Amino acid sequence: MFKKILIANRGEIAVRVILACRELDIASVAVYSDPDKDARHVRLADEAWHLSGQPVQAYLDINQIIEVAKQAGVDAIHPGYGFLSENSNFARACAANGFKFIGPSPDVMQKMGSKVESRRAMAEAGVPVVPGTTDPVTTAAEVKELATKYGYPLAIKASAGGGGRGMRVVRRDEDVENALSGAQREGASYFGSNEVYIEKYLDKPRHIEVQVLGDEHGNVVHLFERDCSSQRRHQKLLEETPAANLDSALKARLLEAAVKGTKALRYTSAGTLEFMVAGDQFYFLEMNTRVQVEHPITEMTTGVDIVKEQIAIAEGRPLSFKQDEITQHGHAIECRINAEDPNKNFMPNPGEITNYKEPSMPWVRVDSACYSGYKVMPFYDSLLCKLVAWGRTRKEAIDRTRAALKNLKIEGVSTTIPFHLAMLDDPAFEAGRVDTGYVENDLMKRWKGIVSRYAGVATTSGAKNAPEPTPELKNGDAPRRRTEPRSFEVEVNRRLYQVSVSELVQEHAREQVSRTSLSGQNQPRLPGSPGGRGAAARPASAPHTVAGGPGEIRAAMNGVVKQILVSVGAKVDPGQRIIIFEAMKMESELVAPKGGTISGIMVKAGDTVETDALLATISD
């Protein structure tokens, strides 16, 4: 029925939706921001339309996207995930202009966007919610009163919150005042409302979610569960289905509750109900009203194409199958491969992917928008690709995931591949003993002991996955630094070896250094190395500064100046810390690119700065 769909998104999910359109013989319209001109989704779509504005703002610009939809003459708009996907105003704007929004109704989206309202709706539908209040609390006395009813620990949550923001855990009366004001403050600053409510706090629950589909004829089905417990600071790292060691009776109750809740909402389109599972209890947490990043593992085990179903539902068609026609077949695992360095607290690591090659293997699917030469940009999320593997058993899925990870080649930026390999080999993961505390409290605590075993994988995957070489500075010597490894094939006595070579280079050509230095790290263009892409080593430890002229410290991405450690006139050594900078939720230290005297400081603590902004200068 639809002839043309606009995809209001970028990256791998835009590619995923375009490919579904192609299969359905529906024309696809991509939109792109300035820096996304060469992106895969732009090349792949039948048409591509430019969105002006800042890189992120462009994809959030409702008026501009509606304007493009009119000019391109589309029937419907698919919002993907993130960006405008859960924005009810956008869904309303689509409808008001005659475009079908591929998602649920704006009213349901709005209701599920509020923690208190969704909690209330689910409780009314008979879906278990965490014991606590649905009405807001305002005073510490009320919280302490509730503590006598529910017992500590309690969670104080911002009503409008989500994603771990605006939540405080309180374990005793003395801490209530601080926790309450903290949650209220965060609610006000992130979500524009200081309203908070109380829940009993569950210690390290499992995070299990249920995929549902509802059509416009009142039919609702679930597509079983996904275990998303493996996360770090609310960023999911690996998802699997079915959930390991989940009691079958508990699972049946969970799936039934999800369908019951979805029916009560008269929900249409694909959605996900998130639950916390603790012991033999489960509790509704929130509902996501979009297609999710991890939808492929459900597709692999049920055979249902979730994006195609979203489109069919939006066309007004009834679901083409009944619940009892859906079975969960085998086991699937998804690894979210991010441009982040697990050796540095998962610091985002933007830069150019100098070499990218996906595994081509049976039972493996890779969803991606990457290519060799793709530049990972600091203002978008750092997801490079999703590697998904299927097996008849969990063990087979793990083995195939491991083999596929070793055949995924990503050079030029650090990636989470070594982390994923370590996790797949971890006895606790192998035994299926993973809860929401596992990565941070268990695996990462043992990380330093584990990582050396996976450093060798750097020959085929991330060039900088190997532990950071320490720059050696001997009395008066110029710093020596290891280049990014390059791969060679060497034949020795008939046997072919693949070797990865990185060179130790001395920084000698002073003039060259100052002209081509990439950051506050004294990074020279490598003498004798080929020009062009990948020729210059990029600093791994301070990615948040970029090519300044001599003695300049600049912001490599939009961010906030947290602290300034020196004053004008101060004598500084090369490599000395000058500014603490925060971007993409990560703090980094900006260091002096050379020794000298601080001749200018252009910013103060608290300043928001844009990419490339000059922050400080150093003179000889």
Under rule CB under 6 A, residue 230 binds ligand MV4: no
Under rule CB under 6 A, residue 130 binds ligand MV4: yes
Residue 580 near residue 603 (C-beta atoms within 8 A):
no
Q: Site size for ligand MV4, by CB under 6 A?
A: 17
One residue of 10, 119, 168, 207 binding ligand MV4 per CB under 6 A: 207
Residue 4 exposure: Cα atoms within 13 Å on the Cβ side: 15
Question: Smallest distance from the beta carbon of 381 to ligand MV4, in angstroms?
Answer: 17
Task: Report residue 33 as tokens.
Answer: 């921001």
**CA 203, 434, 587, 285 torsion-angle sign:** negative
One residue of 101, 201, 267, 438 binding ligand MV4 per CB under 6 A: 201
Nearer to ligand MV4, 136 or 469 (CB): 136
User: What pairing do the DSSP bridges indicate for beta strands 331-338 and 238-241?
Assistant: antiparallel
Under rule CB under 6 A, residue 436 binds ligand MV4: yes
Contacting ligand MV4 within 278-337 (CB under 6 A): 285
Nearer to ligand MV4, 161 or 543 (CB): 161
Nearer to ligand MV4, 156 or 314 (CB): 156
Contacting ligand MV4 within 238-277 (CB under 6 A): 276
Under rule CB under 6 A, residue 155 binds ligand MV4: yes
Rounded Cα gap, residues 15 and 369, in angstroms = 7
Does residue 93 sit in helix, strand or coil? helix
Rounded Cα gap, residues 240 and 228, in angstroms = 7
Secondary structure of 233-251 as H, E, C letters: CCEECEEEECCCCCCHHHH
Rounded Cα gap, residues 268 and 605, in angstroms = 47
One residue of 37, 172, 234, 329 binding ligand MV4 per CB under 6 A: 234
For residue 394, what is the enclosing H or E element? helix 394-406
Under rule CB under 6 A, residue 116 binds ligand MV4: no
Secondary structure of 135-179 as H, E, C letters: CCECCHHHHHHHHHHHCCCEEEEEEEEECCEEEEEECCHHHHHHH
Question: Smallest distance from the beta carbon of 194 to ligand MV4, in angstroms?
Answer: 18
Under rule CB under 6 A, residue 235 binds ligand MV4: no
Does residue 444 sit in helix, strand or coil? helix
Under rule CB under 6 A, residue 68 binds ligand MV4: no
Site string for ligand MV4, 180-199 (x = CB under 6 A): -------------------x
- Best CA proximity match to 40, nearest among 9, 21, 17, 14: 14
Question: Smallest distance from the beta carbon of 346 to ligand MV4, in angstroms?
Answer: 15
Question: Smallest distance from the beta carbon of 164 to ligand MV4, in angstroms?
Answer: 4
Nearer to ligand MV4, 441 or 599 (CB): 441
One residue of 231, 302, 401, 416 binding ligand MV4 per CB under 6 A: 231
Nearer to ligand MV4, 30 or 277 (CB): 277
Under rule CB under 6 A, residue 417 binds ligand MV4: no
Rounded Cα gap, residues 432 and 409, in angstroms = 28
Nearer to ligand MV4, 155 or 616 (CB): 155
Question: Smallest distance from the beta carbon of 363 to ligand MV4, in angstroms?
Answer: 28
For the chain, report the end-to-end CA distance as a whole number of angstroms: 69
Nearer to ligand MV4, 119 or 482 (CB): 119
For residue 458, what is the enclosing H or E element? none
Question: Smallest distance from the beta carbon of 437 to ligand MV4, in angstroms?
Answer: 7
Rounded Cα gap, residues 194 and 160, in angstroms = 8
Question: Smallest distance from the beta carbon of 166 to ligand MV4, in angstroms?
Answer: 9
Burial 56-93 (b: 16+ CB within 10 A, else e): bebbbbeebbbebbeebebbbbbbbbbbbbbbbebbbb
Rounded Cα gap, residues 336 and 296, in angstroms = 12
Question: Smallest distance from the beta carbon of 234 to ligand MV4, in angstroms?
Answer: 6
One residue of 73, 164, 279, 467 binding ligand MV4 per CB under 6 A: 164
Under rule CB under 6 A, residue 162 binds ligand MV4: yes
Binding site for ligand MV4 (CB under 6 A): 130, 155, 162-164, 167, 199-202, 205, 207, 231, 234, 276, 285, 436
